[in-house]
Amino acid sequence: MKPVNKMKNLFLTILSICFFVSSCAQENEIMKEDYKIISKIIDEFTYPLAPPPLIGSADTIIPKAKLDSLLRIKMVVAIDPAMESSINKKGSDDMAKTFESIIDTSLPSKIIKNIDEILSEKEHLVKLADTVDFKESYDFEQFDVLYNFSRIWYNKDETRAVFEVGISRSKLYGSSIIICLEKIDGEWSIIKSIPTTTW
């Protein structure tokens, strides 16, 4: 075999390996749409708890002025960096087939590394959760709300998405839901949310 052909074969082999490694890595990377969806969910579900009614009062309705002031509070939001490729099967029974068919738990989990891409329009302070801190404390001292997102699955043309998210205010108070979204006029809209677990 001529040296030129050997070099050409070696070059093609290296190019093929690089392409293969690159395409595999992309399945594991956080996509631009992932960041948009995470940002939307944080703004939709992050709010302070309402104060309890006065002692002896049967009135549980929060006056609009107080509610508006509560919703303007900027909170510290932590996100668990691991986006596991799993979903609570109990909740998926209530999901439309168009969304259920998107889920592929054989895809690898993802890790959120760049928190700067998560933009809260309500100006909540978003940071990555320190997983060591979880083990050392029974309550959340460094943040107000913790989010734990599963991997976000998309249909082929990226117009539908589905995932599960856990939202915790402490280790003993939280819930998880499956969220089905559809892209309408270029924006993600929540089509259905299915409660799965509370703690």
Distance in Å from the first CA to the final CA of the chain: 68
DSSP-assigned letter for residue 115: G
pLDDT attached to residue 95 = 78
Neighbours of 105 (CB within 10 A): 13
Q: How far apart are alpha carbons 159 and 44 in whole angstroms?
A: 20
Tell me the domain boundaries of the chain: 1-28, 31-51+59-198
Phi/psi at 157 (nearest 5 deg)?
-95, 10
pLDDT attached to residue 19 = 43
- Adjacent-strand bridge partners of 163: 179
pLDDT attached to residue 6 = 63
Q: Is the alpha carbon torsion for 34, 127, 165, 40 positive or negative?
A: negative
pLDDT attached to residue 21 = 40
pLDDT attached to residue 138 = 61
Q: How far apart are alpha carbons 131 and 81 in whole angstroms?
A: 9
Pick from 147, 185, 142: nearest CA to 44: 147
E strand or H helix at 6: helix 3-28
Q: What is the pTM of this model?
A: 0.79
Tokens 């959120």 locate to 112
Q: How far apart are alpha carbons 93 and 103 in whole angstroms?
A: 13
Question: Per-10-residue mean pLDDT for the chain, 199 residues long?
Answer: 61 50 55 96 91 76 80 92 88 77 93 93 93 68 92 95 94 92 96 92
